[in-house]
Every structure is written in structure tokens, then in C-alpha cells.
Structure 1
């Protein structure tokens, strides 16, 4: 019986100490996240600045439409959706480079790129218009292109959903 009571005392003593330790840790963490001493705030500000630097020029449907009617070798309309999404339809004269592999494949040598995609690798100063489903991934693709020293970058902000709303499913399939 004495042994059992001693075991209970030890557990009781431990459980009485444990909440205080948790409280001290919580208070310490809360203090470090206070606005006066927030280590996360400068990182968020830096991220915001980077996002401002990488913004591509925006194109509308009215600006993209003529480029599909009279394609030019100086302009690439690049669909960054995944192949299963492209099977549902795409904008005429567009080519597909999925965003999931774009950062890697944009660095391929021209011959390997042509073998993989079936068209020439874009030149650094060539006009590149990115689109996706709604315009979010195409903005990311423009960022990838900018980081890889491409200079003539555009984002079709409305992307496939805008095209579909205006044209129906008249795109290439």
C-alpha cells in the first residue's frame, strides 16, 4: 500500500510541475512573436518586394486573340497547365510546357528541349505569353521565366477560363 501511495505522489508532483513548464514555454513563444520583436515580419516584407519585382505585364483577351489568328514565330503562347488539363482544350497556336517541369526544362539545351516538346526552345528576348486555367500558375510561370533571364514576358490574366467564356470550346483539342 505504501508503495502505491508513493507512486501516486510522484505522479502528482510531476503533473503539478508540467503545466507550469508549458506555461513558461508558451509565454516565451508569445513574447517572441510580439509586433515589437517579430522575426517573421522582415521576411514577409522581403517576399512582398520580390513579388513586386517579378510581376509580368498583363494581357487581355482582346490583346491575345489577334496573336492566335496570325501566329508569329517571334511569339510563343505557352500553356502551363498539366497535360490532362490541356486535353480538355487549349487556345489555338499555343504550346504546352507544364509549370511543374518548367523550371527544370527551361534550362535544357536547345536540342534536348526540341526533342522533348517538338518546338524550338524560346529565345531569351522572344515574346512569351503565359496562360493557365485562371491566371495564377501563369503568373508563377512568368516568375520562372524572369528568373531564367527571359525579358519579354506577358501573362494572359484571364487565361483558359476567360477564353472559354468568350470563345466557347473553339480552341484546339
Structure 2
């Protein structure tokens, strides 16, 4: 059982200027979601960061919300939180695989995301993993996002956009490259 194993945990990420993290949570199992969010918030605050939390209907909507936030806001990183408990149908497999795939694809585009979407067999497993005094997977997901933000800052700083540049930004970029003020 995982509770008896020893795992190495990286030291907390440190920053010279505060980070701003968006926590995206699917509160389908509200008690589990609340525990995950508590752990994530505590970890972000311990690193001197700021956070905002938004709720989405389910785990499948988490990657979409993160993609929208990346295009339209100024967050340094993201924490994806939720819980998927196996049921009687294959819907579990679809939700687990597709939410994870969506987060992975966003990460491969350069977004700093900690994935704390629990995929478990039953509610008891979810409780053990979500509790701040237990496995604290919400805090672990926040720590992962913070470590990725630290790497992004170390290797190159700010970047914007996922997949496309909105037309209004293209006009400003084009005008700036010709030395014209488009504002």
C-alpha cells in the first residue's frame, strides 16, 4: 500500500516575485473538492503566491477552462482539481483519460499545470488522498504547478497564448514590429 512507502518530495519552490495561480476545480464530490482546494491554497500561500479559484461542472471541463484562462488572463500557473470515482460504466475511463490528456497537451504547449484530479475506485480512497492531513494531493498539485512556474521563470520568463493569437493581438504585434503605435 502507498501509505507505507517513503517518497521524496522536492523542497518548496521559491520566488523573487509572487506568483499568481488559478485553481480550477470540479466540485462534483464537494467534500473531496473542498479538501483538495484547501491543500492547494495552503501550498500556494506558503510559497508567497496568490490564487484565484473557479469551479467548472466536471473534470472534462477543467482543461478547457485552463486554456481559456491562459488566453484571456495573466496567471503564471494552474492547478487542476477534482475527483473521478469508478462507476458501473466506461464513462470513468473516458473522463479520466480525456481530462488527463487535455491537461497534458496544455502542459506540452508550455502551461505550468499541477494535475490534482483524483482517479479512484471508491470514495474512501478519494478521502485519504484529498485530506490535507493525509496524502494532501491538492497541496501536491499546487507544489507541482509552482515548481513548473519556477522552471519557466528560470528558462525564459513570460509567454502568452495557447494555440492561436487573437486578431486584435496580431494587429498590435504587427504595428509594434513596424514601429507604429496601434493603441
Q: Looking at CA atoms only, which structure, 1 or 2, has the larger radius of gyration?
A: 1
Higher strand proportion: 2
Same fold at TM > 0.5: no
TM-score (norm 1): 0.32
Structure with greater helix percent: 1
TM-score calculated relative to the size of structure 2? 0.31
